Amino acid sequence: MTVLSREKDSFDFWYRTVQPLVPTPRTHIIKTDLDFAPLMDGATPDGFEAFCQRIAFAARKVRYPAFLRTGHTSGKHNWCSTCYLDAEAEIPSHVSALVEESYLADFFGLPTDVWVVREFVPGPVAFTAFNGLPIRKERRVFVNAGKVRCHHPYWPADAIKRASCPDWVEKLAALNAIADEDLAEILTLSATVAQALPGAWSLDWMLCHEAPRWRLIDAALAEHSYHFEGCQEP
């Protein structure tokens, strides 16, 4: 991944562009020059406590439970120890876990200079998988050159590990089906984003049980995003 693509893939790059245009969870972005490397050796970096207090302040504003991530990863497959914040006391250990995931995710490591505290979007959960990750109704839309190119369910069945119930395949199939009116709403919103973000992107939408029903929860350069096999779009 080049330096330029890393900058474009960072949460703060795309979020500041699309936030005024479409529904998103309430969000606070925290930038820092803190050196987190000592955490990898079990030590506490200088300024770590003050940084955690900044996270705590933002989490109180969006209210617990909150969603924590860096500009490049949420570590969602380790949900209970990374991105899901249920209480202020969890912040230091969850920050440490996200730093570890960031350092190990890429040959050169992922940046940890941008942190994001978000509202936890309320909505129905079909089951959990991996390390407690709620599997919910989501849709991924690919856009390029100002237009919607294709759309897919977010979760392919072969990606699910350690599901919490024996009938998860049937529940996932129900999640992956989408009503015409929901699809129309998502595609309309995606077309708005496509006009604002230059180039090719994936857009991830999540269903909420409160208005607005569909919220943009993530975006990434299309070249770095999983694309369902067999789709005719690049």
pLDDT by residue for the chain (234 residues), tens digit each? 444 456 778 999 999 999 999 999 999 999 999 999 999 999 999 999 999 999 999 999 999 999 999 999 999 999 999 999 999 999 999 999 999 999 998 777 899 999 999 999 988 899 999 999 999 999 999 999 999 999 999 999 999 999 999 999 999 999 999 999 999 999 999 999 999 999 999 999 999 988 889 999 999 999 989 888 878 776
Q: Which of 222, 169, 195 is nearest to 21 (CA)?
A: 195
Distance of CA 116 to the CA centre of its chain: 10
222 Cβ neighbours under 8 A, 6+ residues apart: 142, 144, 199, 200, 201, 202
- Same structural domain for residues 90 and 168? no
Instruction: Name the 3-class secondary structure at 95.
Output: helix
Number of domains in the chain: 2
pTM greater than 0.85 (yes/no): yes
Domain boundary (102, 119, 136) is at: 119
- 230 lies in a domain? no
* Residue whose C-alpha is closest to residue 94's, from 119, 125, 116, 113: 116
Same domain, 115 and 131: no
The residue length of the chain stands at: 234
